[in-house]
Chains A and B, each alone.
Chain A
Amino acid sequence: MSNFTPELLAPAGSLDKLIIAVLYGANAVYLGGQKYGLRQAAENFTDQELEEGVSFAHANGAKVFVVLNSFFHDKDFDSLNIFLKKLDDYGVDAVIVSDPGVIKYISENSQLEIHLSTQASCLNVEAAKLWKKLGVTRVVLGRETSIKDAALIKKEAGLEVEMFIHGSMCMAYSGHCVISNYTQGRDSNRGGCAHSCRFEYSFDDKDLESKKSYFMSSKDLEGIRLLQDFVDFEIDSLKVEGRMKSHLYAGTISKVYREALDYYDENGDFHSDNMKHWESELRKITHRAYTQASLVEPASDDSIYDEREHEDSLYTSIGTIRDVNKDAGFLLVEVKSFFNTGDTLEVLPFKGEPFEIVASNITSVSGKELTKTKPGTLVKIPYSPFATRWNLLRKRNLQ
């Protein structure tokens, strides 16, 4: 048994998601500020939120990586220095960067540790060595890299390696899709991707049969069954995609992979009946069909998600417990999706098995009886001794 356990790196699309990911077990989170990232439509962190996020994460033993993974045009460097200074001051643990110009600028103007973003599509030992010369200490490898190749890159280039283990994927080599630039006038490499790969395309060439297909759409990555390989090959960090995804996603993913890695720490393997349980938990969050993509061998056509864009989910995210009051006997719930009086809800604790509670009585904050809830409101439901603040609630969908 190796003593090595990889870092679990979760997405934090907002400060709430950061808190949730850390409380559910992520060792590190990555997030974006208001500029320089690839999620222009996302909420992203203001400077103050970033500072708060770093202090929360550090107080709970987790690291914070900030993405600056947009590919810059020359004018985009304006005010980068000010932002870097803030990141330094807040104690950010590393920045994730794609562009060699930005890497050069950061190494010349700050002490920040630099991780190479997957957007740079680093796929081989020679490329990794080049990025190392530029000052990078970790590479987030291109999604086309196998775990075996990642280990070789780590050994021969002498760098930390990070790989995606879960989440949505680009079908293109990262950084090498500019469909949105030409069809929407939005630079995908500066955060404007319009997800044209998820559209249906028709083919009606004269020599070939007419076809319709979502041929560029990729299934979602799921690497839980490969955890033993990630450990054996000493992959330093396992990254989960999904800054734009829900609180329930951030919590479930962090919890499931944390439990699996903790099981390994205690038992030295993943040969557990729990594997089925972990997989079934991952099926409870919104996802497209899963694939292991290129983690073991080059991805083949079975990684094409040839369906209209929709995400399957066995459970609905109900909301977050925002306050627990034992004396007054209620849980205060921030409602994301409606539920009715009498519904059975599941609480996802930070550790251990999910458990059921019944919303036998729902009231508004001022105490009015309700028969059903509305998304975007706060309601009170009966107290449960095992539920705590920031626990997530979900409800099984009727099949």
Chain B
Amino acid sequence: MGKKPYESPTIIKIESSMSKAGLPSMQQKIRKDIDGVDIHALSDEYGSPLFVFSEQKMRKLYKEAYEAFSSRYPNVQFGWSYKTNYLQAICSVFHQEGAIAEVVSEFEYEKARKFGIEGKDIIYNGPYKPYDSLKTAASEGAKIHIDTFDEISDLEKVADELGMTIPVAIRLNMDIGIEPQWSRFGFNIESGQAMDAVRRIEAGGKLDLNGLHSHIGTFMLDTNAYKMQTTKMVLLMKEIEAHTDYIITYLDVGGGFASKAHLKGIYQPPEVVVPSIDDYAEAITSALYEHLEHGNYPRLYLETGRHLIDEAGYLITTMTGTKRLPDGRRNYIMDAGVNLLYTAFWFKYDLELTERQDGMMEPALVNGPLCMNIDVIDESVMLPRLKRGSKMVISPVGAYSVTQWMQFIRYRPSVVLIDMQGQTHLIRETEELHDVEARERLPEYLQHE
């Protein structure tokens, strides 16, 4: 047994049983496995850090969400929001469950097409859609959601070029009583801009307006906002149908349903503040029933991203070094940081240990491996003293992490999927030097002999 390195003692004020964040903090949180697969076995086999996704959880969340809506409204279709997580295996699970694709760029569009998703099953959103990709999307029958007046002009040109009438929807923004209002996307309803856009499309005569879309934000905790959004969309639909020949066959209310994640600045636990999927469904469908004229149901599209994947994603990370900071806090350096967890700026994650540690809980600052000040996973969390090499599981990290991660300083790690039977599948390999340099070109005169 080696001698313990000396560390000077410190006095720690033990606070009440609740931390500032309102979480019970004096208890060690332990997670030994994900869907029955041992954490250590996972990192032994696939390395650390390691993203792990649970197919079981994904399917469960999808089914719950679909049923919450379909048991209330008979014409519902989910579109998997690619940007939330576009690993092929992940998209595949949601497509298998019946979701179509929601994309916001030509890159995502190509990805969906390569995946075998037909144009008709792609919702094409986004404030910038290059002309060529609009043309491809139109010819393949995608659901194009127009964001600007310029895009109307572009599409009319495409319509002429292709010699066809293009079915389109417009994106809307509106006052739904929450701040900040996402007013930079689409056409504003209250100012009359949305109706202007409709008139503009009508005057052109080359597009067939058949849908309305809006996305009011992400991680929306207020179900009432959806109720207002849906109401305003239905009212606009009625106005359009009353004043033009267009028939609005679908309403797309976007995404934004919260996951059980802990937003910084909110002091109650997610179990308390995050509405259930049934609450969201109730808000949206009750608004539909209240304002729709009956007989025919417009299809209701949902572009739910975060809610379906966030809680299915975990990041296994290893403690690589520790020291004490001048303010007395313990500091741990992990092998994963904000390079992999871009969302750390907004969310306070659940940090779980894989085995119970002896010793007192103490405040700790958990950092990533980057040589930058901002590389903070958690600036204040109560942890027992960790041994070097011990593992930590960070969750929920399923949403936006593996799309917004950076190849910065370090390689991006492997991603593993645990299937319904508890088998693991490597769905993305750890990067190598070649992956990073593959697209580089070194001018000849700079090459060394």
A, B in one complex: no
Give B contacts to A, CB under 8 Å: none
